[in-house]
Every structure is written in C-alpha cells, then in structure tokens.
C-alpha cells in the first residue's frame, strides 16, 4: 500500500481549514446581521397583516415611503404622538416621529454583508487554488481523487456564494 506524502496532508489540511474558516465567517456574518436588525426594532412589533409597526407605548407606525429600487419601506409614527411621549428621549430625537426602515430580505443588502461574503469567497478561492496546485503536483491516484472531490465541493461553494455578489437587483 502506498503511503500519503506529508505535502499532500498539509495542503489538504490547509485547504480544508480555509474552507472551515469561510463557513464560520458566513455564520458569524449572518448572526451579526440578524442581531443588528433586531436591535434597531427592539420593543417594536410588526404586524404583517396590517403592514404596520407598534411601538412599546402602543402608537402605530404606518408606511410613508416605498422605494422599489432599494426594496425598502419607511414607517413613521405620528409626530404629535412621539413629541408628547414620555419615552421620546429613549426612542428618537426626531421631531417628525420615529421611523423604521424595513428592507426586503434575501439579498446582500448592505456593505458589511457584501464584505463578509467577499472574504468568504476569497478564502474558498484560495483553498481551491491550493487544491488545484496539489492535484497537479501529486502523481498518486487516490490522493488525486480525494483532492478532486474536495475541489468540486469548494468550487460549488464558491459559485453559490459569489452569485449574489455579482447580481444586480435594482428593480429596473
């Protein structure tokens, strides 16, 4: 039986480590994004059937502006209600009423999401390059098969993760 070279083991291990780091970065980015969305609406309740928000003081925020290009809706409470509210200093500094912007989900919407996704894709591309180099260098059959299998897996992940980076959702 043929022994596996140290170079093969190190290259495969490093490529897999880069893939795991990319996966962990994706999970961390998703968690941070969900948390930031929750923080901006803490205490507020959204009613999808009525398309409105309710604040902790039971005032309603209704849609006042829809931006189809950015796929977002801005909700605002009546200025008179917010200006007379005892919790205004904790909620908003606007004299026009509290606003909440609600964006459509599913796309890479903001710069931080795009940055984290680009970092994940970069790590996976580097891992893929390492695997390609090792496939060319290693002459043994079974290590090449294992490298090719991991290469196909990483290539599929690169394609899946990079598609939203290059798509244009401008609503036009």
**What ranges make up the beta strands (E) of the chain?**
45-47, 52-54, 60-67, 72-76, 99-103
Query: What's the pTM?
Result: 0.65
Q: Tokens at residue 64, please?
A: 């006042």
Mean pLDDT of 146-162: 95
Q: Dump pLDDT digits (tens) for 29-61.
A: 888 877 776 666 778 888 889 988 999 889 899
Q: In 3-state terms, what secondary structure has residue 96?
A: coil
CB 144 within 8 A of CB 2: no
Give the end-to-end CA distance of the chain in Å, rounded to a whole number.
Answer: 61
Q: State residue 167's pLDDT score.
A: 73
């Amino acid at each position: 039986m043929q022994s596996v070279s140290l170079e093969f083991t190190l290259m495969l291990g490093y490529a897999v480590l880069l893939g795991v780091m990319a996966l962990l970065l994706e999970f961390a980015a998703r968690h941070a994004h969900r948390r930031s969305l929750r923080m901006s609406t803490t205490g507020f309740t959204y009613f999808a059937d009525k398309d409105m928000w309710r604040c902790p003081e039971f005032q309603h925020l209704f849609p006042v502006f829809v931006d189809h290009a950015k796929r977002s809706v801005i909700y605002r409470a009546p200025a008179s209600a917010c200006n007379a509210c005892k919790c205004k200093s904790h909620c908003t500094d606007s004299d026009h009423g509290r606003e909440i912007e609600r964006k459509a989900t599913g796309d890479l919407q903001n710069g931080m999401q795009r940055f984290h996704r680009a970092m994940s894709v970069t790590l996976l591309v580097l891992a893929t390059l390492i695997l390609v180099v090792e496939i060319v260098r290693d002459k043994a059959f079974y290590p090449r098969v294992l490298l090719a299998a991991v290469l196909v897996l990483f290539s599929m992940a690169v394609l899946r993760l990079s598609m939203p980076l290059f798509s244009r959702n401008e609503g036009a």
